[in-house]
Amino acid sequence: MDKVLEAFDLYRFYHAGEEETLALRGVSIHLAPGELVAVMGPSGSGKSTLLACLAGLDEPDGGYVQLLGRRLTRRPQTERAAMRARKMGIMLQSGNLFDHLTVEDNIRLSMQLAGKVNQQRVGELLQLVGLKERSRARPAQLSGGEAARAALAVALSNTPPVLLADEPTGEVDVETEKYLLALLEDYTKGGGAALVATHSANLAARAGRIVHLLDGRTTG
Ligand code: ADP
């Protein structure tokens, strides 16, 4: 399949009293296996809204999203959640780690939600992100860099064909950023497709393609 994720003409409006915010105004986007695409734009340009719609966490007011050739938009929430759990890795700003679970149990839970726990893969993931020694730590006990790596391990737990990330390197030091970028590159070299909203010039430099957003529209 040449497109793992496609969005057609997405619109998303927010209403607060008299105020209407046009967060997305006709955004179309596509993602192919092996691609790393950076979504860039100033704060408020619609990046997080776009990722939430692509993940099926939010429903667009117009347009639709197709995941592996299957429509994700306007399905019951449980169906969207199941499609997301099996086919997508998600690193959004709200975080994907449960505070009361250890790093290891967070990975395991993500596998459970997708239907199958693979204990060997849990160990491989901890090794991959360099958290083998921290597997029993809870998120609050992790440094910012460790938390970002744990979040990536959870996102990659089910070897998803699609990875969506919102500022995955936003709050980490330069060394951790390099490390995360190398992991992202490995993921895409293995055929994974990653769409990443970012302000990072380093990440953008590694991207095969950059989509610029401004006021809810793509500008190139
Ligand atoms: P970015 O991620 O690029 O900073 P967002 O997608 O967060 O942009 O926001 C796009 C626009 O939508 C902004 O004007 C923001 O204030 C508005 N917005 C986002 N979420 C909501 C919401 N839940 N309610 C009202 N307005 C929102």
Low-confidence ranges of the chain (pLDDT < 50): none
> What's the CA gap between 53 and 61, in Å, rounded?
10
Q: Which of 43, 48, 199 to mutate to test the pocket of ligand 1 (most atoms within 8 A of CB)?
A: 48
What is the distance in A from the centroid of ligand 1 to the CA of 43?
Answer: 9
What is the distance in A from the centroid of ligand 1 to the CA of 185?
Answer: 29
Tokens standing for 175? 């060394």
Q: Which of 11, 14, 212 to mutate to test the pocket of ligand 1 (most atoms within 8 A of CB)?
A: 14
Residue 145 lies in a domain: no
What lies within 8 Å, CB to CB, of 114 at 6+ separation is: 85, 86, 157, 158
DSSP annotation of 129: T
Q: CB–CB of 129/183 below 8 Å?
A: yes
Tokens standing for 102? 């250890």
Q: DSSP string spanning 16-78?
A: ETTEEEEEEEEEEEEE-TT-EEEEE--TTSSHHHHHHHHTTSS--SEEEEEETTEE-TTS-HH
Residue 133 lies in a domain: no
Q: What is the pLDDT of residue 101?
A: 95
Q: 72 — phi, psi (to 5°)?
A: -100, -35
CB-based pocket (< 6 A), ligand 1? 14, 16, 21, 23, 41, 43-49
| CATH number for 178 | 3.40.50.300
Q: How many domains does the chain have?
A: 1
Give the domain extent around 90.
Answer: 5-96+158-218
Residue 199 lies in a domain: yes
Residue 137 lies in a domain: no
pTM given for the model: 0.93
Q: What is the pLDDT of residue 95?
A: 77
Q: CB–CB of 210/38 below 8 Å?
A: yes
Q: What is the pLDDT of residue 120?
A: 95
Angle of the 77-87 helix axis to the 103-114 helix axis, nearest 10 = 120
Q: CB–CB of 151/96 below 8 Å?
A: yes
What lies within 8 Å, CB to CB, of 4 at 6+ separation is: 31, 32, 33, 67, 68, 161, 162, 193
Buried b (16+ CB within 10 A) or exposed e, 186-205: ebbeeebbbbbbbebeebee
Residue 111 lies in a domain: no
Residue 126 lies in a domain: no
Residue 130 lies in a domain: no
Residue 142 lies in a domain: no
